[in-house]
Structures are given as structure tokens and as C-alpha cells.
Amino acid sequence: MKLHCALLSGVLLSFYLAPATADEIRTELDLAEVTVNPRGAQLMRTGEVELPAGAHEVVLDTLPQGIMAASVQVEGVSASDVEIGTVDVSSIALDPEQEATGTRKLVQDELEALARDRARHERVRIDAQFRRATLERLTGGYAAIPFAAGDKPAMSPEQIGNLLLLTNRELSEISSVVLEADQATVQIGKREKVLRRQLQLLASTPNSRTRVAVQVSAATSAKMTLSLKYSVPDAGWRPIYDARLKLPADGKPADLKLVQRALVFQRSGEAWEGVALKLSTATVTGRTASPVLQPVAIGPQPVMSRRAVQTQESFSDAAGSREMQSKTAAGLAAPAPAPVRQRQAEITNAGFHAVYSIAGQTSVPNSGALKSVRIGARTVEPAIRVDTAPHIDPVGYLTGVFKIAGETPLLAGEVSLFRDGVFAGRSRMRQIAPGEEMELGFGRDDLVRVIRREVENTAGSSGIITEQSTLKRLYVTSIENLHTFPVEVHVTDRMPYSTHEEVVVEMLRETTAPSVTDPDNKKGIVVWDVPLKPQAKTEIRFGYTVVHPSQMKLAIPR
């Protein structure tokens, strides 16, 4: 009796403890925040879910395809006792006809309506042309009716006049109908072109969606704020800049405003409408750690016997023949498909990381089109410098030298240059860290006049036992500052350097003392940094000699 009671109690207890079948709660979460990396993006959806007491399965089955399943994270906040269990991510196939809704469906419906209108106007035009042909045939027939001499004509002059008036009125009406039909057809064609372009910009209807099922249990009826985070690969951003330089004027120093923008794109399968957009400089794809090098041995190549060499050669020939036959057959059958190119980010990251929160709500279409957003602006006081290399181009180029303050770096990107409000061109800016010096060129400076002339170019020989040839060249560069403010002129020139012990190259003693020689280990490069006051002039003398044996032929560039 006790055993029966124990068994019955065990069965009842196991039945009581057995989990009930989870109820399915279908819900949708609003897209609230998007963090875009140079390659890829992380999306966060949030929403409130009503939970009855017990175990439930919260299902989200309207998510776009292409979600990286391993990146899915689920979090929840509730004032009641709620527990989140497992999270299942799967892909569900869709009927394209049922999914052709929204903007794409509206565009397709309008295109179909325009096609019907086009056919109707074409029918009107054809009918009008048929009326014209019939009328011309009838009126021509009356005019050509013959009658015998003395017989009365078929129509009196008054009737003929009335017929001509009626014909003219009918032809005029027909022409108006044809003209209206043609004009309507032209307008329909223009609208169809716009709509087809809009269809191209809209992403094609996906054939699948992502389903996320979250197992949730609640002790009592509760409300839970559910957050879903996931990553998508087909999104990214790259920085662009506007550099606006104001030259010194009216006693005010130079001013450089650097406006930082971002070009954002995405093809995630859904439009981002009114989201909180963040831009991160972190690269979340690609290599995450330094590669591990494997040891490489080196030693003498083993000597092979003649037979082994012949055997290896025969195997190589056979393999080569098979490879050639395979390639030939493959070439005759069908060309091999080219590897799919992957989009590479134009931004490099050198260990710096920053997140830019874009002000307000932002929308980014699901078409791959570039969306420009403003990140911010920095204003610095640059040093004004004029660079010139008169050996190649006797022109001064205005350069702004500055340092960036703050804690976040500026990533590499294209920069549009403006000088006193006038567009000066485009350049590319490298990545710079806070406190690092940066230079930007702003084009020709016609108010710094540079003239280079050759004042001596002689060649001669000397020596009795060993005859030596000597080449002497001397140049003078004149620089004049026509600005109303002082500038520093950075002059670069060059002289040949010797790669042979019997060839001696020396700088002339009358050369103006250079500021730097061989900068960055560039042999033969000479640099002068010359400060010039307004309306001031200066000259730089530069020359060298080349001594070598007369029998040695040298090619000395100018």
C-alpha cells in the first residue's frame, strides 16, 4: 500500500514538475540604434513584451536576411521575476509575391497603371489616325466623281464649301487628339524612367528572413523590455573632410577650420529609419591578433642521381602535360569564374578607437547609396608656409601646418580644400593622432614669386699624369613675398651624389648655407627654410662640382 502511494505520488510529482508547452508570442522590436564600423554594423532593437505567467517562446520572424547568427545577443529588463533561456536563430523562406509590399509594391503598381495609360493613349492615337485617313479618302472621292457634259455635278459649290469646312474642322480636331496623346505618352515615359530608377535603388525583395526565438519564463504576469543586438556585414563608413583656410588679414592670424564628415552606406536588407546613429573607428572584421611565424630551415640542396633526376623530370613533364590538358579542356568547356571581389575599407586603424554619436535621428536607405552625415568641426591656428621646388617647378605652393588637439585621432580620408572661401582642389589626408603635426597644401600661391636661373655651367680638364674632368654648375633662385603678412618659404633643390670612388661631387663654397641636407636619408636633397617679411626679397645661391676621370663617361642630369 505504501509502495502504491509512493508510486502515485511520484507520478503526480513528475507530472506537476514537467514543463508545460511554451506559448508562442510573436512580436516586433523597433530599430533604435545602429553602430557602424568601417566594415560592418551592429544594430539594436528594443520593445516591450507582455508576458503571462509560465514558459513562453518570444518569436521575431520579420528580421532581414544576412544577420550574422553568431552575433545575436538578447537582453531584457523587467520589474518582475523573468528569466531568459536559450536563443535560437534560423532562416525562413518567404513567398516573393507575399513580400512585394511597401514602397516597392507601390512603385510596381504605378508602373502597371502607366503601362495601361500608355496603351490607352496609343489606341486613341491610332483611332484618330484612322479617322483622318478615312476622312481624306471620302473627301478625295467626292472631288474625283466624274460627270458627263451637260450633267449636273454631284455636289453644288455650296455643298462642296460646307464639306471643306467640315473636313477642316474634323482634321483640326483629329490633330489635337493626336498631339494630346503624343504629349501624354512623353510624360508617361519620363515618369516610367523615374520609377524604374527608384526600383533600382530599392533593394530587391528578399527570398528569406531571419527568425529569432527566445525562450522566456515568468513567475507571474509581467512586462519585459527586450533588447536584441546583432551584426550585419554589408555596411560601413569612410571619413571625408573640408579644410577651410583663411589667410591672415586685418591683423588677424590665419584660421583653419577642419569639418569632419562621414559617408555611410548599407545593404542590410532593411532601411534604417530615424535611428540613433553611431560611427565607430574600430575594425571588427579581419585579423584580430598578430600572425604566428613558423620556422624556416635553409641548407645545401641534396645532390640527386641522374636516374632520380630523369624520373623527377618525367613526372614533372607528365604533371605539366596533365595540367596543360586540364587547362585546355577547361578553357574549351567554359571560362573559369573570376573570384568575387570583396569590398575593402579605405580606412586604416592604428590601434586608436573612437565612437562618434551623430546628433538627432538619422535615416540610411537600404540601397548602398552614400549618406553624408556631419561628425563635427575643429578650428586651429595653422602656420603658413610656402613650399617650392624650383628645379622642377618655379612656383610657390601654399601650405598650412597645424596640430590636432583632443583625444581622438583623425582617420585617413579625402579632403576638399578651400582657401578664403574658394575651392582649391582635393587631396588625401593620412591618419593623424592628437598632437601630431599635419601639413595640407592649398594650391599655387601667386603672391610668392620664384625665379630660378642658371648662372654658370662649365666643363674643363686638368692633370698631367691622370687627366681629370670637372663640371661646375651654379644656380640662383630669387624669392619675393608679395603678401601683406610674413611667410616662411621652404625651398628644396638637389645635386647629384656619387656611387663611384673616382667620382667626387662637392657643393660650391658660394652656396647659401642650407637648413637641412639629405632629409629623411634622401641623398643629394638640400633644403632652405627662409623667413620673408611682407614685400621682402631674397636670393639663394646653389651650386656643385663633379670631378671624374676624363676617360669615364658620365650621364649627369640637370
pLDDT above 90 for 95: no
| Residues 386 and 525 placed together within one structural domain of the fold | no
Tell me the Cα Rg of the chain: 42
Of the candidate ranges 53-67, 77-91, 94-108, 369-383, the one whose mean pLDDT is the lowest: 94-108
Per residue in 26-37, pLDDT (tens digit) is 988 999 999 999
Give a yes or no: residue 407 inside a domain: yes
Q: What is the span of the domain harbouring residue 518?
A: 448-549
Query: What distance in Å separates the CA atoms of residue 158 and residue 160, rounded to the nearest whole number?
Result: 5
Task: Let me know if residue 301 belongs to a domain.
Answer: no
Percent helix, strand, coil in the chain (nearest 5)?
A: 25, 40, 35
Q: Are residues 460 and 514 in the same domain?
A: yes
Rounded Cα distance, 390 and 453, in Å: 9
Same domain, 418 and 477: no
Gap between the Cα atoms of 420 and 243, Å rounded: 11
Q: Is residue 46 part of a domain?
A: no
Residue 48 has pLDDT above 60, yes or no: yes
Label residue 146 by pLDDT band (50, 70, 90): low
Q: 452 with 440, same domain?
A: no
**Whether residue 395 has pLDDT greater than 70:** yes
Tell me what pLDDT residue 326 has. Answer: 44
Q: How far apart are CA 43 and CA 277, in angstroms?
A: 10
* DSSP code per residue over 496-526: ---SSTT-EEEE-TTSPPPSEESGGG-TTEE
- For residue 454, CA distances in Å to 27, 84, 387, 395, 451 come to 82, 84, 20, 16, 10
Q: Are residues 400 and 464 in the same domain?
A: no
Q: Which of 124-133, 239-248, 383-392 has the lowest mean pLDDT?
A: 124-133
Domain C-terminal end among 444, 459, 474: 444
For residues 123 and 244, membership in a common domain is answered with no
Q: How far apart, in whole angstroms, are the C-alpha atoms of residue 397 and residue 427?
A: 14
Give CA 177 to chain center in angstroms. Answer: 50
Residue of 495 and 2 predicted with greater confidence: 495
Who wins on pLDDT, 258 or 7? Answer: 258
Give, for 162, the enclosing helix (H) or strand (E).
helix 157-201
State the chain's mean pLDDT as an integer. Answer: 81
Task: With CA atoms as reference, report the closest residue to 254 among 245, 241, 267, 265.
Answer: 245
Count, residues in the chain: 558
Q: What is the pLDDT of residues 203-228, one digit of tens each?
A: 555 667 889 999 999 999 989 999 99
**Which residues lie across from 55 on neighbouring strands?**
217
Question: Are residues 473 and 384 located together in one domain of the fold?
Answer: no
Among 506, 516, 518, 517, which Cα is nearest to 543's? 506
Question: Between 157 and 522, whose confidence is greater?
Answer: 522
**pLDDT at 344 exceeding the cut of 60:** no
Answer yes or no: is pLDDT of 329 > 70: no
385: nearest Cα among 372, 365, 402: 402
* pLDDT over threshold 90, residue 535: yes
CA distance 226 to 80: 13
Strands 23-26 and 54-64, how do they pair? parallel
443 to each of 270, 311, 380, 530, how far by Cα in Å? 43, 67, 19, 20
Q: Say yes or no to pLDDT of 167 above 80.
A: no
Domain boundary among 388, 422, 444: 444
Q: Is 165 among the domain residues? A: yes
**Pair 389, 455 in one domain:** no
Same-domain pairing of 388 and 537: no
Structural domains in the chain (count)? 3
Asked if 372 and 345 count as a contact pair (C-beta separation under 8 A), the reply is: no
User: Which of 62-66, 101-105, 146-150 is predicted with the least confidence, judged by mean pLDDT?
Assistant: 146-150
Are residues 122 and 252 part of one domain? no
**Higher per-residue confidence, 305 vs 118:** 118
In a domain, 336, yes or no: no
Q: Is residue 431 within 8 Å of residue 411, measured between CB atoms?
A: yes
Exposure string of 240-264, with b = 16+ CB inside 10 Å and e = fewer, is bbebbbbbeeeeeebbbebbbbbbb
Residue 400: inside a domain: yes
| Res 204: pLDDT | 54
- The pLDDT > 90 percentage for the chain reads 43
* pLDDT above 90 for 263: yes
Residues 6+ apart with CB under 8 A from 260: 239, 241, 374, 375, 376, 377, 378, 410
Overall average pLDDT of the 107-114 stretch: 89
pLDDT of residue 18: 36
Exposure class string for 311-336: b at 16+ Cβ within 10 A, else e: eeeeeeeeeeeeeeeeeeeeeeeeee
In whole angstroms, give the CA distance from residue 43 to residue 66.
13
Q: Quick one: pLDDT band at residue 15, thresholds 50, 70, 90?
A: very low
Same-domain status, 135 and 176: yes
Residues 108 and 177 in one domain: yes
Placement of cell 654658370 in the chain: 456
What pLDDT, on the 0 to 100 scale, is given for residue 341? 36
Q: Is residue 75 part of a domain?
A: no
Q: Is residue 316 domain-resident?
A: no
**Residue 171: predicted pLDDT:** 82
Higher-scoring residue by pLDDT: 497, 351:
497
β-pairing verdict for 208-218 and 525-532: unpaired
